[in-house]
């Protein structure tokens, strides 16, 4: 049997994550799985020098020739892992320790299931659309980036309102006085875009979202466009500077006059899946949606009163 290799990434700032990571490393090694840890995380976990554990530096090489990246933490930790895994196409499997954990596949009590899935390679791989983002100033591209969930143009500290022009495929859509604009993938529709009032989009749908944040204008509806569209936002010359965020992790300053273009990313992020439950069930479970509703609850109370 071919030896499997996993890179384990953890939220080392949480005691629970550290304990679970240490247990996971032990279980993987006992099952004959080669384990990699980021060198700085190995030090924080007290696992530096542990026999059978390879320590690697932060970078794309850390996921090279790796079967899987196992992430122990919340969605923020998974997004950090995606930065390493995306260039090599290595699947990412999230173990949820966060509050909602939409990107996570399993809960913390399923570690033995994860180990077995790695050994037997009994998991499915799902490709998630990303965004390629470019920033242009005076007609020159000054920054390129990417995002799995979303890229957002936002007002900086001390700024009361931004003056932004939104475009779709090079055609002006509207001018908004607003706090910012979120441009998201279907995966990101349950993240920042959702909080800003955008729709929930099933991850298998090819689409891009544009959602204005607290916009003061006649037309401020969230938009869902084709996956081949280009979304653009220009910070007007007479407004305050803005900032660009990619997945809430990478930030770029946007002086007045800057233009941001976002389009479907050339490279997707691959997520490992152990379960085949439909997205509807995931939505209900993650948001704890009341599937019975108030009518069912009232009927149950009426029946209890009748029985009494």
The set of catalytic residues is 75
User: For tokens 């470019």, what's the residue?
Assistant: 134
Question: Cα–Cα distance between 154 and 242 in angstroms, integer?
Answer: 6
Instruction: Answer yes or no: are the C-beta atoms of 126 and 271 closer than 8 Å.
Output: yes
Q: How many residues does this entry show for the chain?
A: 308
Rounded CA gap, 1 and 22, in Å? 25
54 neighbors 36 (Cβ within 8 angstroms): yes
Distance (Å, whole) CA 282 – CA 288: 9
Give, in order, the Cα–Cα distances in Å from 86 to each of 152, 228, 258, 261: 20, 20, 27, 21
Which residues, in sequence order, are bridge partners of residue 167? 172, 232
């Amino acid at each position: 049997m071919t030896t499997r290799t996993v890179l384990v990434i953890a939220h080392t700032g949480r005691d629970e994550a550290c304990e679970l990571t240490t247990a996971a490393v032990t279980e993987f090694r006992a099952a004959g799985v080669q384990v990699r840890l980021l060198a700085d995380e190995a030090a924080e976990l007290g696992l530096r020098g542990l026999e059978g554990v390879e320590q690697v530096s932060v970078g794309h090489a850390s996921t090279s020739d790796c079967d899987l990246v196992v992430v122990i933490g919340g969605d923020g930790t998974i997004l950090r892992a995606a930065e390493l895994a995306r260039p090599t196409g290595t699947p990412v499997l999230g173990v949820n320790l966060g509050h909602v954990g939409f990107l996570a596949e399993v809960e913390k009590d399923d570690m033995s299931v994860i180990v077995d899935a790695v050994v037997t390679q009994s998991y499915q791989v799902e490709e998630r659309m990303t965004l390629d983002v470019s920033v242009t100033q005076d007609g020159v591209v000054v920054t390129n980036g990417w995002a799995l969930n979303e890229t957002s143009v936002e007002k900086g500290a001390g700024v009361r309102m931004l003056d932004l022009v939104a475009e779709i495929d090079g055609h002006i859509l509207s001018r908004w006085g607003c706090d910012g604009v979120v441009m998201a993938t279907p995966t990101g529709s349950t993240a920042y875009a959702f909080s800003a009032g955008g729709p929930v989009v099933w991850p298998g749908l090819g689409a891009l979202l544009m959602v204005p944040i607290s916009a003061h204008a006649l037309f401020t509806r969230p938009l869902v466009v084709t996956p081949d569209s280009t979304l653009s936002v220009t910070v007007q010359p007479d407004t305050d500077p803005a900032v660009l965020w990619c997945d809430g992790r990478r930030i770029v300053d946007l002086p007045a006059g800057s233009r941001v273009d976002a389009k479907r990313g050339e490279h997707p992020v691959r997520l490992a899946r152990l379960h085949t439950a439909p997205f509807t069930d995931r939505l209900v479970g993650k948001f704890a949606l009341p599937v019975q509703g108030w009518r069912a609850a009232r009927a149950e109370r009426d029946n209890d009163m009748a029985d009494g």
